[in-house]
A and B are shown apart, each in its own frame.
Chain A
Amino acid sequence: MDKIENNKAWFLVLPVLLLVAFSAVIPLMTVVNYSVQDTFGNNVFFWEGLGWFKEVLTSSRVHGALGRQLAFSAIILAIQIPLGIAIALCMPKRGFWASVCLVLMSLPLLIPWNVVGTIWQILGRTDIGLLGYTLDQLGISWNYARNPVHAWIIVVVMDVWHWTSLVALLAYAGLQSIPQAYYQAAKIDQASRWKVFRYIELPKMQGVLLIAILLRFMDSFMIYTEPFVVTGGGPGSATSFLSIDLVKMALGQFDLGPAAAFSIMYFLIILLVSWVFYTVMTNIDKAEGK
């Protein structure tokens, strides 16, 4: 134990702590306060106890939104992660075309979310949209505003279009960091392409892929803008994910109490998932550091 711990360094974190307190902790505490009370505005509150939590926890509407949310996150992860890896494997490793690919891949990531929503909203329309019109001409009765399956297809495809490049870029960065010696050794052993992928590339990409899964899970779990612009959560509540449902409850109906209880449960789920990912990632780092 020749390392000296100096806890005074913690004082340097103090400004950030103050900022976080005002931007996150105090609003969160206010939400907790709202969740046990009822209000009709004017800053007048009535004690409600755990009633809202019970309502939210047993509400079929919230269960439905949570189910749709989990399904959506599972679907986009199941598509984006393998697709992103496949794209990264196909990209040229160096030279002019590598740069072209990188620029093209990062383009969707730069577009603001509501613009992405508008693009796909228009693209899917049968009167003026290229996709909708083509499907219509092919004889498919396409209508994402009325058919829940079509609404899901367009929301999922939109998310895949918007975010697969992030996974691909992360996987590409992971691939680039593998030393050439590994491939040479594999060549000497006459390893097949699949074995190179399974035993060299995949293990070496593990770290970045976990980050990609975490980022994509969190982002998709909190998705709001794009489905809101394209389908508005409809038809009915077919694409009402957690955030959309929460905003409807808090702002549409001004049910601050139930919405606050809903937010806290939402927050707890995200906290749990983040903690699991964080623990897994740090443990992998430690195992590699040995």
Chain B
Amino acid sequence: MSLQWMAWTMPTAIFFGTIAGLLILFTILAIRFPETPRRGVLTIETTRGDRLFITLLGSAFINAGWLALSGQPQWWALGICALYAYAVFRWV
């Protein structure tokens, strides 16, 4: 099957590969280590999957904000996202 119609590039392939990998990883984690939802600073019940979703969605907005406002290399935004991800998994 030709994938040309989807106009794939290596960076977007890596991007989707990472997300797919994360989803598979979290599925395996959910099966191997079942968990009960917990309440954090947002006072909503979250599971690991919810926290992953909050992390990914928030990271998208952090990257967009960085691109629009800072003018610095985009890699730095990834660093902020890593800190944000840590905070979400620790406290949310």
Give A residues with C-beta under 8 Å from B: 5, 7, 26, 29-30, 32-34, 36-37, 39, 43, 45, 47, 50, 53-54, 57-58, 265, 268, 271-272, 275, 279, 283, 286
Residue B25, interface by CB 8 Å: no
Secondary structure class of chain B's binding surface, majority of residues: helix
B87 CB-CB contact with A under 8 Å: no
State in angstroms the CA–CA spacing of A53 and B65 once bound together: 11
A57 touches B67 (CB 8 A): yes
Chain A residues, Cβ within 8 Å of B72 = none
Q: Does B41 contact A (CB under 8 A)?
A: no
| Contact in complex: A271, B7 (CB < 8 Å) | no
Give the dominant DSSP class at A's interface: helix
- Contact pattern, B 29-73, Cβ under 8 Å of A = 1, otherwise 0: 001001000000000110000000100010011001001100000
Q: Are B74 and A47 in contact (CB under 8 A)?
A: no
Contact between chains at A272 and B12 (CB < 8 Å): no
Bin the interface of chain B by size. Answer: 20 to 34
For B45, what are the chain A residues with a Cβ–Cβ distance below 8 Å? 283, 286
Chain B residues near A275: list those with CB within 8 A. 53, 57
Q: Are B74 and A50 in contact (CB under 8 A)?
A: yes
Q: Which 9 residue pairs are nearest across A and B when measured between Cβ atoms? A: A57-B68, A33-B7, A30-B6, A33-B12, A45-B7, A268-B60, A279-B44, A54-B67, A283-B44
Residue of A whose beta carbon sits closest to that of B43: A283
Q: Are A36 and B9 in contact (CB under 8 A)?
A: yes
* B19–chain A nearest beta-carbon distance, Å: 10
Point out the residues of chain A lying under 8 angstroms from B7, CB to CB: 30, 33-34, 37, 39, 43, 45
Q: For residue B31, which residues in chain A have a CB less than 8 angstroms away from its CB?
A: 7
Q: List 18 A-B contacts (CB under 8 A).
A: A5-B34, A7-B31, A26-B6, A29-B16, A30-B6, A32-B15, A33-B6, A33-B9, A36-B9, A37-B7, A47-B9, A54-B67, A54-B68, A57-B68, A58-B68, A268-B60, A275-B53, A283-B44
Q: Which residues of A contact B4 (CB under 8 A)?
A: 43
Chain B contacts for A39, CB-based, 8 A: 7
